[in-house]
Chain A
Amino acid sequence: MGVDAADMKLWRTPFDQAEKATKPGKVLINKERCKGCGYCVEFCPRGALMMSEELSPKGYYLAAIADESKCLGCGLCEVICPEFAIRLASNGNED
């Protein structure tokens, strides 16, 4: 379905809420590339990502998904990652 309006800090419900329901995206993180900078975690508008305790082969703490259901598929994580380490699997929300 769509994202629950109550979850988002909106001052009113969007008029096209029903037609423009967002579909959650599927975030894929490349273990070899991630350097644990934290940008994806910080700037995800929904807080769907987190820093994990897992170490990459190069010794960086990896980013990870905190809550998949929160993902809007906006793609900001993919675009902001300095390492090209995040890919948003196609969910029809791109462009």
Chain B
Amino acid sequence: MTNMVTVADNPIDCYLRVDRIPHIWCAGCGIGPATGCFIRAIHRTGLDPDKIALVSGIGCTGRVAGYVKLDSFHTTHGRALPFATGLKLGNPDLNPVVFSGDGDLIAIGGNHLIHSARRNIDMTVICINNFNYGMTGGQMGPTTPLDARSTTSPYGNFEYPFNVPYLVAASGATYVARWTVLHLRQLERSIAEALTKPGFSFIEVISPCPTVYGRMNKLPRGLDEMRSYQQRSVIRNGADPKDADIALDGPIVVGKFVDIERPTFWDMCKQMLDRAGMQKKP
């Protein structure tokens, strides 16, 4: 017997702006489960949600800011990272989380991505990678696999994509992980680790985009993409990020790749102030 209820009843509802649910994401979109993992991760860490500031950019993933009941900022395309940097500078007690998409963070936001990682600013970045620009109809992006179809690569993408974990690790991030949306438990655990770890933490989340990317690449239903993750993903914790390239039909290496210690931006700032005989006011 089916137990159907019409009343909003989900235990994570207290973290959602339920007056805006159901959300705009397509049936089968991976952003929903990723958001759920994020909320459960906050709960798992016991961190004060009042101090978590969520910053997103433009795109389907950018809409997360509007659905999560935290202080949230839906900013301009590609600029979530510097905005979050500003938040952290203005109030070091804040815990900024940048939750945005592959186009937003890696294409237009690419410069800010490498510099934020270099500075090792204490923040967590969740990058939903659905291999295209979903919101605008499925154009190719810097993570679109070679030969994949998109609305702006109708004959197949001929540009090499970024190996995102490699890029971010090389830029100086102290925590780099990749999971697919199917790896729900691991993703939740990774986000919890990232939230509590000082420094720049980056989690790439491979996500289905059934309406555009999937449909244009012979995976028309979300289920098809999810099944393909099931078949293609290989958990290799501690793998060298160099080996994390994703080909159109090739393996998807997931896991926690980098988890190192390095002084954060504030650590270095304090060292400088001590050397110069000054202190930051609280």
**What is A's interface to B at a CB cutoff of 8 Å?**
26-33, 35-39, 42-43, 52, 58, 60, 62, 64-65, 68, 76, 78-87, 89
Q: Which of B6-14, B45-53, B165-173 contacts A (4 or more CB under 8 A)?
A: B6-14
Q: How far is the CB of B31 from chain A (nearest CB, A)?
A: 7
**Residue B88 CB within 8 A of the other chain:** no
Contact between A30 and B8, CB atoms less than 8 A apart: yes
Contact between A33 and B184, CB atoms less than 8 A apart: no
A76: chain B residues at CB < 8 Å are 184
- Complex: how many Å from CA A18 to CA B232? 36
| Main DSSP-derived SS at the A contact region | mixed
A31: chain B residues at CB < 8 Å are 4-6
A87: chain B residues at CB < 8 Å are 5, 9-11
Contact between B3 and A26, CB atoms less than 8 A apart: yes
- Complex: how many Å from CA A60 to CA B27? 9
Contact of A82 among B5, B13, B29, B227 (CB under 8 A): B29
User: Would A30 and B223 be within 8 Å (CB), given that A39-B28, A65-B1, A82-B30 are in contact?
Assistant: no
Contact between A32 and B10, CB atoms less than 8 A apart: no
- Complex: how many Å from CA A83 to CA B18? 11
Q: Given contacts A31-B6, A87-B5, list 14 more A-B pairs with CB under 8 A.
A: A28-B3, A35-B27, A37-B27, A37-B222, A38-B28, A38-B222, A38-B223, A60-B27, A62-B4, A64-B4, A65-B2, A78-B10, A82-B27, A82-B222
Contact between B30 and A37, CB atoms less than 8 A apart: no
User: Would A38 and B221 be within 8 Å (CB), given that A65-B1, A81-B32, A82-B30 are in contact?
Assistant: yes
Contact between A52 and B27, CB atoms less than 8 A apart: no
**Residue B81 CB within 8 A of the other chain:** no
B27: chain A residues at CB < 8 Å are 35-37, 60, 82
Q: How far is the CB of A32 from chain B (nearest CB, A)?
A: 6
- Complex: how many Å from CA A82 to CA B30? 6
